[in-house]
C-alpha cells in the first residue's frame, strides 16, 4: 500500500496505534513510516505517543464528503504540495463541473493581476471547475459564496473578503479557457501570511472542511440566483460603494467615488472627469487600513 492510500482511511482526531494498525492491516512500524511519508508530502498528520490521525476539520475526502450538501465537491483531489491548484485542475482530464482540487500548500500560488498568493500550511487553497457560461456576474456570485462560508467580513469589489478592520481574509481568481472556468479560492483560515492580511480564526472557531463544504454549497446556490438578487445581496454586503477609491485597470489608474454597480456587475466610479464603468480592476479603499501598504507587495494581497 502506498502512503497516499492510507490517507483516506485516517480518522479525524487521534486513534491508538494498535487499533489503527489493526484496522489498516499494518504493523505499527509500517504505519508510522507511511505517516511520516504523508507528513513529508505536506499532509497535516498528527503523530503522537497515543496514536495518529488527522487534525479536526482536515479537508480530506473522508471528512469533507459527509459535509457536502450539493453536487459540487466531487470528484475531489486532496493534495499535499502543488505549484498551483489552478494548474492541477486545468490538466485533470476526468474533472467534471463541480470538481475540486485542494492542496495543503502551494509553491506558486497566484492571485489577481499576476500577484503571488502566499500559501503556507493551515489555510484553504482550492480550485473549482465551472462551465463557462460567460456570466459577467460570476465574480460577484463567488464573492457572496465566500462571505457565506466565512460568516464574517464584507466584500470589496469584485470579491475580496475583508475583515471588519479592512485586512484581507480571502480572495478569488477567475481564469477561463474555452468552455471551462477555473475558480481559484484562497481563504486565510489559520494563518495571515502578510501584515495586511487577517485569518478567520481571529474572528470565530474554524473548521476547514466545514468552511469548504459551506463555500461549495453557497456557490452552487448563488450560481442559480437571479441577476437582481445577486446585485442586491452584493450591494448590501460590500465596503466599496460610497467610498473614495483608487482603481487600477490594465490601462489606467482612476481615483474617485464608487457610486454604484452596473447590470453586468461593473463598478461605476465618479472621477473629476465624469463617470467611468470598470469591468475588471484592482480597488484600493482610500483612507483605510487597505490604503496603508507596501506598494511592492500589492494591495490586500495575501
184 binds ligand BTN, rule: CB under 6 A: yes
Q: Tell me which residue has its CB nearest to ligand BTN.
A: 171
127 binds ligand BTN, rule: CB under 6 A: yes
**Contact string (CB under 6 A) for ligand BTN, positions 267-296, x = contact:** ------------------------------
* Among 15, 104, 118, 160, contact with ligand BTN (rule: CB under 6 A): 160
- If one counts every other C-beta atom within 10 angstroms of the C-beta of residue 9, the result is 12
Question: What is the side-by-side strand order in the sheet with 100-106?
Answer: 76-82, 100-106, 124-131, 180-187, 168-177, 160-162, 154-156
* Shortest Å distance, C-beta 45 to ligand BTN: 22
* Shortest Å distance, C-beta 22 to ligand BTN: 38
* Among 77, 86, 196, 240, contact with ligand BTN (rule: CB under 6 A): 86
125 binds ligand BTN, rule: CB under 6 A: yes
Give strand ranges (E) for the chain. Answer: 13-16, 46-47, 51-54, 76-82, 100-106, 124-131, 154-156, 160-162, 168-177, 180-187, 244-248, 253-261, 267-271, 274-278, 282-285
* Among 78, 117, 157, 217, contact with ligand BTN (rule: CB under 6 A): 117
Task: Compute the distance between CA of residue 83 and CA of residue 127 in angstroms, rounded to an integer.
Answer: 13
Cβ partners under 8 Å of residue 166, min gap 6: 239, 285, 288, 289, 290
CA neighbours within 13 Å on the CB side: how many for 42? 18
Residue 35 or 247 with smaller CB distance to ligand BTN? 247
Residue 125 or 157 with smaller CB distance to ligand BTN? 125
Q: Are 256 and 245 in contact (CB under 8 A)?
A: yes
* Among 58, 77, 84, 238, contact with ligand BTN (rule: CB under 6 A): 84
217 binds ligand BTN, rule: CB under 6 A: no
Total count of residues recorded for the chain: 302
171 binds ligand BTN, rule: CB under 6 A: yes
* Among 7, 31, 63, 185, contact with ligand BTN (rule: CB under 6 A): 185
258 binds ligand BTN, rule: CB under 6 A: no
158 binds ligand BTN, rule: CB under 6 A: no
**CA distances from residue 196 to 11, 120, 192 in whole angstroms, order as listed:** 35, 16, 8
Binding footprint of ligand BTN on the chain (CB under 6 A): 84-86, 106, 109-112, 115, 117, 125-127, 160, 171-173, 184-186
Amino acid at each position: 500500500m502506498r502512503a497516499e492510500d492510507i490517507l483516506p482511511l485516517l480518522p479525524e482526531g487521534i486513534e491508538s496505534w494498535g487499533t489503527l494498525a489493526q484496522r489498516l492491516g499494518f504493523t505499527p512500524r509500517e504505519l508510522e513510516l507511511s505517516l511520516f511519508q504523508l507528513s513529508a508530502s505536506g499532509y497535516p498528520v498528527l503523530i503522537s505517543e497515543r496514536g495518529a490521525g488527522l487534525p479536526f476539520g482536515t479537508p480530506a475526502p473522508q471528512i469533507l464528503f459527509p459535509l457536502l450538501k450539493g453536487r459540487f465537491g466531487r470528484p475531489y483531489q486532496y493534495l499535499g504540495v502543488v505549484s498551483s491548484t489552478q494548474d492541477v485542475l486545468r490538466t485533470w482530464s476526468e474533472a467534471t463541473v463541480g470538481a475540486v482540487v485542494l492542496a495543503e500548500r502551494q509553491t506558486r500560488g497566484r492571485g489577481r493581476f499576476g500577484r503571488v498568493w502566499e500559501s503556507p500550511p493551515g489555510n484553504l487553497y482550492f480550485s473549482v471547475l465551472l462551465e463557462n457560461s460567460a456570466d459577467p456576474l460570476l465574480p460577484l456570485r463567488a464573492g457572496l459564496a465566500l462571505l457565506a462560508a466565512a460568516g464574517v467580513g464584507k466584500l470589496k469589489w469584485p470579491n475580496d473578503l475583508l475583515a471588519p478592520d479592512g485586512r484581507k481574509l480571502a480572495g478569488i481568481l477567475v481564469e477561463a479557457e474555452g468552455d471551462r472556468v477555473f475558480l481559484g479560492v484562497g481563504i486565510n483560515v489559520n494563518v495571515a501570511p502578510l501584515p495586511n492580511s487577517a485569518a478567520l480564526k481571529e474572528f470565530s472557531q474554524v473548521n476547514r472542511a466545514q468552511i469548504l463544504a459551506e463555500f461549495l454549497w453557497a456557490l452552487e446556490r448563488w450560481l442559480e440566483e437571479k441577476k437582481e438578487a445577486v446585485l442586491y445581496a452584493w450591494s448590501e454586503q460590500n465596503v466599496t460603494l460610497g467610498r473614495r477609491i483608487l482603481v487600477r485597470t490594465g490601462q489606467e489608474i482612476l481615483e474617485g467615488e464608487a457610486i454604484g454597480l452596473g447590470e453586468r456587475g461593473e463598478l461605476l466610479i465618479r472621477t473629476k472627469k465624469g463617470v467611468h464603468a470598470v469591468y475588471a480592476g484592482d480597488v484600493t479603499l482610500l483612507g483605510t487600513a487597505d490604503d496603508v501598504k507596501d506598494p511592492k507587495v500589492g494591495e490586500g494581497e495575501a
